[in-house]
Amino acid sequence: MKVLIYNLTIFIIVISTNCLFADDDGLNNYKNKKFEEAKAYYEQILAIRENDAAASLGLGASQYQLGDIPNAAKSFEEALKTKNYNIQDRAYYNLGNAFYSQQKMDESIAFYRKALELNPSDEDAKFNYELAKYIVQQQQDKNQDSQDDQQNEQNQRQNDSKNDNDQDNKPQDTDKQEPDKQENEESDSSQEGKREAPKTQKQMNAEAILDALKDEEKIHQKVKMAQQSSRKFEKDW
């Protein structure tokens, strides 16, 4: 079975310009892909304002782009403490991406769903949600196929073993027929011995007398038949 592999669409909206100061160096660095500088900036903000949800979201996005997925997930979870639905929506979506990157599909699907509950029109969350579900279904189908193959192999081995046992328990006809074959050979040998035994003179004389009697009987039969034919001819005339 072919398993289709899809790359997840990573579309992280960190914050809007009104979430932080108008002059947000962290956001500018992030947009310019200067993720180390963006990370450092948001860490400075959080050192001053520990519960700044927007800064936690920006920090998590920077950590994610640098490949620090576990810490990025922690930063996104911190961002969820706000009552700002826009930040919560992005935090849930980015958590979905973080868990997807770790191949934790069940958690990923759950966070995409939460993002869609807050923002049903979020096309990126919707796409990633459906994609993650599809990949899970593909994996389940693959596992089921593997289990079916293992079951079929086990059934085949059991059938082969049963056939071997039946073959071993089957009566051997050659052993049963061997005595009969031996008896027939002995009988043929006995008959051949009888035929090969030399005839005595007495046996030869007796056979000659029997042959003569048979010839004489044939002559009498011919004479008798001739007489009957003659009488029949006279009567019909």
105's CB contacts (< 8 A; 6+ apart) are: 99, 132, 135, 136, 139
> Count of domains in the chain?
2
Say whether both 58 and 131 belong to one domain.
Answer: yes
Say whether both 39 and 137 belong to one domain.
Answer: yes
* Domain containing residue 34: CATH number: 1.25.40.10
Say whether both 37 and 112 belong to one domain.
Answer: yes
Say whether both 126 and 35 belong to one domain.
Answer: yes
The pLDDT assigned to 152 comes to 80
Residue 195 included in any domain: no
Tokens of 11: 């579309």
DSSP element (H, E) containing 4: none
Residue 127 included in any domain: yes
Q: pTM score, two decimals?
A: 0.57
Residue 6 included in any domain: no
Distance CA 28, CA 91 (A): 19
Say whether both 47 and 135 belong to one domain.
Answer: yes
* Cβ contact 45:60 at 8 Å: no
Residue 193 included in any domain: no
Dihedral angle sign, alpha carbons of residues 164, 166, 169, 171: negative
Q: Give the structural domain span for 64.
A: 25-141
Distance CA 172, CA 149 (A): 37
Residue after which a domain boundary falls, among 141, 156, 182 = 141
Dihedral angle sign, alpha carbons of residues 32, 64, 80, 50: negative
Residue 168 included in any domain: no
Residue 56 included in any domain: yes
Average pLDDT along the chain, 237 residues, taken 10 residues at a time: 38 43 74 93 93 93 94 95 92 94 93 95 91 91 79 78 71 54 57 59 69 65 56 37
114-134 tens-digit pLDDT? 999 999 998 989 999 999 999
Tell me how far CA of residue 2 lies from CA of 103, 137, 151, in angstroms. Answer: 19, 13, 21
Residue after which a domain boundary falls, among 114, 141, 168 = 141
Residue 164 included in any domain: no
